[in-house]
């Protein structure tokens, strides 16, 4: 009789309240394994992983971690902390306001991915696993244990849809796999974070300072990575580590705090950025810093046009070029047709004004077009600018731009007697040429951020958003669509021109080939647009982060070479599939792309 | 006294196809005038032309004695002609309050705007309850209320409503019509375009029946409501 009662259970669907883990280890053991694995991972980074210093970073030392081991250490520590927090250890609860399990899974994945990447890289580069010292095996085993343990943690499984018995095998397979996918998604989904306990405002500001300090450290570390392996490891650890913190709910709480103190956060971010040159011993990485800032500032300018006003501009880099050319012509360069040497302020005004005029000239006829047509026309204008600059060389046309040789030997700027070309000693730190320009560019970035914030919150900003959302309705509200769009175009153009004036001096030379539609070196129109879309349209932090990533990745991963654009395209497609609102989501955009998540909670009783 | 709005021999075309073939009517201050007719009769085209979204090919539009033929859309709003477009056209991802504020885009008197927002909430309490909610989360009828409230925010001399009852349940439609009646009793001048002839005509002082770009019948709301041919064609009676 007993066999009869149990028989249906084997064929039926699993019970509705199934919370078993993804793999068949008892949850309690799994939790212990995950936490212990995390601790062991931390320990393993103090051991030697390989016997020869031939692998970059010198992982041969017992006693302290080096190179990639540091990254594994961070990920392992994160795993251990989340593991302990999942035991409800007093004093660690603040780490996991949205529940520990999902965060623990992602952290374990981060440790696993980084450690195994390292171990595989060592074996592949030195020729075989014999090159691993015991420490390497310990690390690999510890992270695997932690990952398996975390996967055994209980998961609130979604209820499976009932099967249609008439389904074919293929349909059943599709059905099962979609259910499995739902289960995996549930395993990595985090709960809603508990509401933030009210902190005194000085504590909140301390939190912001700490977060900015960590941000500066992570960024400086990323820029300073000296070899490909370390940068790849950095991307893995930073990406998955950030995801783990996001799952734990900490990121949500921090953004709540920063939203409450917006001005302090913005000022603090600039102070943190200004600290960057002081963390460097030479000018090598300040170069990268200043190029990132130029790229990011132009991307932020484009964000006004694309993100706020919704105008797809595919030739935006031309405005950077106009600003750069205008500034270089009044810089006193020997190849400039004008024998003029304006001071910096004059050059900035000329550069911005020239871009503004070009913006209005190009915008006035094209902004009457909508959607795709505008994109095509701006794409064309971007190319026209480059080809014209190439042809105004004295043979094909009048000599204005010196053709493909460009305007070269642009003298360094001198502001109030401060020669930007020479290194200066400030408080014991040597600030080199690129660091000087870094500070100057930071001021320009601040101006652009200010313009972005003020205009976004103003009447004109509301009009931009209205035009973007529904042009017909905006016109019916009495918004002069054409004028409002032209203002967006002109403001965006002049901000790009502003950045162009500095760019001309940083690079010494301005040539037409710096302003392509697409190329492997940013800034170009395609990368600028990608930085905006990848980072998050309509936000300030989004394009800055997007531009940093898009600059650093091709710059650091030299081995990608010819596959750079391929990898870039692939990454963009994946991002658009899984996070269409970009890395940093604007509140309104989030609504646009995830409408089901914000479905109406209450419907009117009389609703139609 | 001249009428608030005078339309004379108005002709509008989409390319070569004439959608409005020379219509004339007037709207006096304080009146509710309705244009009724079937799909494709040219009602919406007429409204869109009056608000400057389309340009006429011929005829004359005078609003408060001024010709509107060459005035761009945004200036027409500032003259006091508000248009609540067909299909509502609210900004779905903005909050209800931001939608209303955009309706007052051309105004700069802050206290007056705040007062009028409150007035919209008094007129449509449901909007007040949800002022911080994204407008797209409202039901169809509530969105129509928002569209009307938003059009009122520009303090119009003449409010043009394009099919406010479109796609609404009978109860919601009654509510919208009751609101129009209330606005009328407050002295708002309204030009109402409707397919629901019964409801529109019972509210209206004047009615015009449009058919394929022409006005084929005009009269007071009550006259048309009892007119034999109108009853046959639009009120579903044999």
For residue B106, the chain A residue with the least C-alpha distance is A478
Tell me the mean pLDDT in the region B208-234. 87
Per-residue pLDDT averaged across A406-417, rounded?
Answer: 79
> How many Å lie between the alpha carbon of B75 and the closest alpha carbon of chain A?
7
Q: Is the pLDDT of residue B164 over 50?
A: yes
A368 to chain B, any CB pair closer than 8 A? The answer is: no
Per-residue pLDDT, B21 = 92
What are the distances in angstroms from CA A126 to CA A59, A118, A130, A138, B50?
A: 13, 12, 9, 19, 79
Mean predicted confidence (pLDDT) in B168-186: 90
Give me the pLDDT at residue A321, please. Answer: 93
Residue B1 has pLDDT above 60, yes or no: no
Asked whether A108 and A37 are in contact (CB, 8 A), the reply is yes
Contact at CB, A607 and B140, closer than 8 angstroms: yes
Burial class (CB in 10 A: 0-12, 13-18, 19+), A2: exposed
Tell me the per-residue pLDDT of A60-102, one tens digit each, with 9 for 90 and over.
Answer: 777 777 788 888 889 989 898 888 888 887 777 778 887 788 8
Residues 6 or more apart from B42 whose CB is under 8 A from it? B12, B19, B20, B21, B23, B210, B212, B213, B214
Partners of B176 on chain A (C-beta within 8 Å) are: none
Per-residue pLDDT tens over the stretch A323-336: 999 999 888 887 77
Query: Buried (b) or exposed (e) across B99-123, using 16+ Cβ within 10 A?
Result: bbbbbbbbbeeeeebeebbeebbeb
Q: Which of A478, A592, A603 sits opposite B74 (nearest CB)?
A: A478
**Strand B189-194, strand B32-37: pairing:** parallel
A217 — phi, psi (to 5°)?
-65, -45
Supply the mean pLDDT for chain B.
89
Residue A577 has pLDDT above 70, yes or no: yes
pTM: 0.82
The DSSP bridge partners found for residue B95 are B134
> Rounded CA gap, A44 and B55, in Å?
76
The predicted-structure confidence for A450-490, as pLDDT tens digits, reads as follows 999 898 888 899 899 999 888 888 888 889 888 999 999 99
Q: What is the pLDDT of residue A593?
A: 55
Min mean pLDDT across A20-24, A227-231, A340-344, B191-195 is at: A20-24
DSSP code of residue A14: P
For B36-52, what is the mean pLDDT?
90
Q: Is A515 exposed, middle or buried (0-12, 13-18, 19+ CB in 10 A)?
A: buried
Map residue B204 onto helix, strand or coil.
Answer: coil
**Residue B223 and residue B205 in contact, taking contact as beta carbons nearer than 8 Å:** no
What pLDDT was estimated at residue A297?
Answer: 93
What is the interface pTM, i.e. ipTM, of the complex?
0.85
Architecture of domain A281-552: Orthogonal Bundle (1.10)
* Cβ within 8 Å, pair B140-A462: no
Q: Rounded to whole angstroms, how far apart are CA atoms A52 and A126?
A: 9
Is A469 part of the contact surface with chain B (CB cutoff 8 Å)? yes
Alpha-carbon distance of B139 to A601, in angstroms, equals: 12
pLDDT for A600: 38
Q: What are the structural domain ranges in chain A?
A: 27-156+198-252, 281-552
Burial class (CB in 10 A: 0-12, 13-18, 19+), A293: buried
Structure-token pair, residue A540: 């300030």
- The mean per-residue pLDDT over the stretch B224-233 comes to 83
Mean pLDDT of A173-177: 83
Hey, is the C-beta of A591 within 8 angstroms of any chain B C-beta?
yes
Contact state of A591 with B93 under an 8 Å Cβ cutoff: yes
CB contact under 8 A, B93 and A592: yes
Lowest average pLDDT, out of A49-53, A247-251, A481-485, B20-24, goes to A49-53
A592 pLDDT band, cuts 50/70/90, is low
More confident residue, A141 or A127: A141
Q: A290-344: per-residue pLDDT in tens?
A: 999 999 999 999 999 998 988 888 989 999 999 999 999 888 887 777 878 888 8
Confidence of residue A16 (pLDDT cuts 50, 70, 90): very low
Q: Among all residues of chain B, which has the CA nearest to that of A589?
A: B93
Distance to chain A for B103, nearest Cα, Å: 5
- Please provide the DSSP assignment of A67-122 as one string: THHHHHHHHHHHHHHHHHHHTT-TT-GGG-TT-SHHHHHHHHHHHHHHHHHHHHHH
Which chain A positions have a beta carbon within 8 Å of B116's beta carbon?
Answer: none
Contact assignment for A478 to B106 by CB distance below 8 Å? yes
Of residues B167 and A58, the one with the higher pLDDT is B167
Question: Chain B residues with CB inside 8 Å of A370's CB?
Answer: none
pLDDT band at B236 (very low <50, low <70, confident <90, very high): low
Chain B residues with CB inside 8 Å of A474's CB?
102
CA distances from A30 to A99, A104, A114, A146, A365 (A): 16, 11, 21, 8, 65
Token pair 């000329």 is at which residue? A350
Which of B 10-69 lie inside 8 A of A, CB atoms?
51-53
- Residue A588 has what pLDDT? 58
Cβ under 8 Å to A: B residues 70-99: 72-78, 82-85, 89-94, 98
Peptide bond just before A523 cis, omega within 30 deg: yes
Residue B196's pLDDT is what?
85
**Cα B48 from Cα A565, distance rounded (Å):** 47
- Considering only alpha carbons, which residue of chain A is nearest residue B175? A606
pLDDT digits (tens, 9 = 90+) for A136-167: 888 888 999 899 888 888 877 777 777 777 77
Q: Is the pLDDT of residue B125 over 50?
A: yes
Q: What integer is the mean pLDDT of A521-539?
A: 86
pLDDT value at position A607? Answer: 33
From the CA of A196, how many Å to the nearest CA of chain B? 22
Helices then strands (H, E): number in chain B? 10, 10
């Amino acid at each position: 009789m007993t066999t009869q009662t149990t028989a249906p259970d084997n064929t039926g669907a699993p019970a509705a309240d199934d919370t078993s883990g993804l793999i068949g280890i008892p949850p309690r053991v799994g939790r212990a394994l995950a936490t212990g694995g995390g601790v062991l991972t931390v320990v393993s980074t103090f051991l030697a992983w390989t016997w020869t210093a031939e692998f970059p970073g010198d992982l041969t030392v017992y006693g302290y971690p080096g190179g990639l081991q540091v990254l594994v250490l961070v990920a392992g520590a994160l795993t251990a902390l989340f593991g302990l927090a999942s035991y409800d250890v007093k004093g660690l609860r603040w780490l996991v306001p949205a529940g520990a399990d999902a965060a623990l899974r992602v952290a374990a994945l981060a440790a696993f991915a980084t450690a195994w990447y390292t171990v595989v890289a060592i074996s592949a580069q030195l020729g075989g696993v014999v090159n691993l010292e015991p420490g390497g095996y310990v690390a690999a085993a510890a992270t695997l244990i932690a990952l398996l343990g975390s996967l055994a943690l209980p998961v609130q499984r979604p209820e499976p849809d009932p099967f249609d018995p008439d389904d074919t095998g293929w349909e059943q397979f599709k059905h099962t796999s979609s259910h499995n996918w739902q289960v995996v998604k549930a395993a990595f989904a985090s709960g809603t974070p508990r509401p933030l306990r009210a902190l005194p405002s000085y504590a909140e500001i301390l939190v912001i300072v700490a977060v900015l300090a960590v941000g500066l450290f992570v960024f400086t570390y990323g820029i300073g990575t000296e070899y490909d392996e370390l940068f790849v490891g950095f991307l893995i650890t930073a990406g998955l580590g950030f995801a783990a913190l996001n799952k734990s709910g900490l990121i949500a709480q921090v953004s709540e705090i920063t939203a409450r103190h917006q001005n302090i956060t913005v000022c603090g971010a600039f102070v943190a950025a200004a600290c960057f040159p002081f963390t460097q011993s030479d000018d090598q990485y300040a170069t990268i810093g200043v190029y990132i800032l130029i790229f990011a500032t132009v991307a932020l300018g484009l964000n006004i046009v694309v993100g706020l006003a919704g105008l797809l501009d595919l030739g935006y880099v031309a405005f950077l070029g106009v600003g750069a050319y205008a500034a270089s012509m009044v810089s006193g360069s020997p190849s400039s047709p004008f024998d003029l040497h304006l001071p910096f302020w004059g050059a900035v005004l000329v550069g911005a004004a020239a871009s503004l005029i070009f913006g209005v000239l190009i915008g006035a006829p094209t902004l009457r077009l909508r959607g795709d047509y505008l994109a095509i026309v701006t794409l064309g204008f971007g190319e026209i600018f480059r080809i014209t600059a190439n042809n105004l060389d004295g043979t094909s046309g009048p000599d204005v731009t010196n053709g493909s040789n460009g305007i070269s030997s642009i003298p360094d700027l001198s502001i109030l007697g401060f020669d930007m070309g020479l290194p200066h000693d400030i408080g014991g730190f040597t600030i080199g040429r690129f660091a000087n320009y870094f500070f100057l560019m930071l001021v320009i970035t601040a101006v652009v951020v200010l313009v972005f914030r003020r205009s976004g919150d103003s009447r004109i900003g509301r009009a931009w958003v209205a035009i973007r959302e529904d042009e017909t309705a905006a016109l019916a509200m009495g918004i002069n669509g054409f004028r409002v769009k032209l203002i967006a175009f002109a403001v965006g153009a002049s901000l790009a021109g502003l950045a162009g004036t500095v760019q001309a001096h940083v690079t010494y030379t301005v040539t037409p080939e710096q302003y392509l539609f697409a190329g492997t070196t940013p800034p170009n129109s395609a990368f600028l647009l990608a930085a905006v879309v990848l980072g998050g349209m309509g936000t300030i932090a989004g394009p800055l982060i997007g531009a940093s990533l898009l600059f650093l990745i091709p710059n650091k991963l030299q081995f990608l070479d010819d596959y750079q654009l391929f990898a870039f395209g692939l990454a963009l497609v994946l991002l658009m599939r899984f996070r269409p609102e970009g890395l940093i989501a604007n509140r309104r955009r989030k609504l646009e792309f995830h409408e089901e998540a914000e479905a109406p909670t209450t419907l009117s009783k009389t609703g139609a | 006294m001249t009428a608030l709005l005078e339309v004379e021999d108005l002709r509008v075309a989409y390319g070569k196809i004439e959608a409005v073939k020379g219509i004339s009517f007037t709207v006096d201050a304080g009146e509710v005038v309705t244009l009724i007719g079937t799909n494709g009769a040219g009602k919406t085209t007429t409204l869109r032309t009056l608000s400057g979204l389309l340009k006429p090919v011929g005829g004359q539009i005078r609003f408060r004695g001024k010709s509107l033929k060459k005035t761009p859309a945004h200036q027409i709003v500032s003259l006091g002609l508000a248009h609540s477009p067909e299909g509502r056209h609210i900004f779905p991802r903005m909050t209800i309050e931001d939608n209303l504020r955009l309706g007052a885009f051309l105004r700069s008197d802050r206290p007056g705007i705040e007062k009028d927002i409150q007035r919209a909430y008094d007129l449509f309490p449901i909007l007040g309850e949800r002022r911080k909610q994204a407008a797209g989360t409202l039901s169809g009828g509530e969105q129509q209320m928002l569209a009307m409230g938003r059009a009122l925010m520009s303090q119009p001399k003449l409010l043009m409503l394009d099919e406010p009852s479109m796609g609404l349940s009978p109860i919601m439609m009654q509510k919208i019509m009751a609101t129009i009646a209330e606005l009328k009793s407050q002295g708002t001048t309204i030009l109402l375009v409707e397919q629901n002839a019964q409801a529109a005509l019972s509210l209206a002082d004047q009615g015009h029946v449009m058919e394929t770009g022409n006005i084929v019948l005009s009269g007071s709301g009550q006259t048309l409501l009892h007119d034999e041919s109108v009853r046959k064609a639009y009120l579903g009676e044999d």
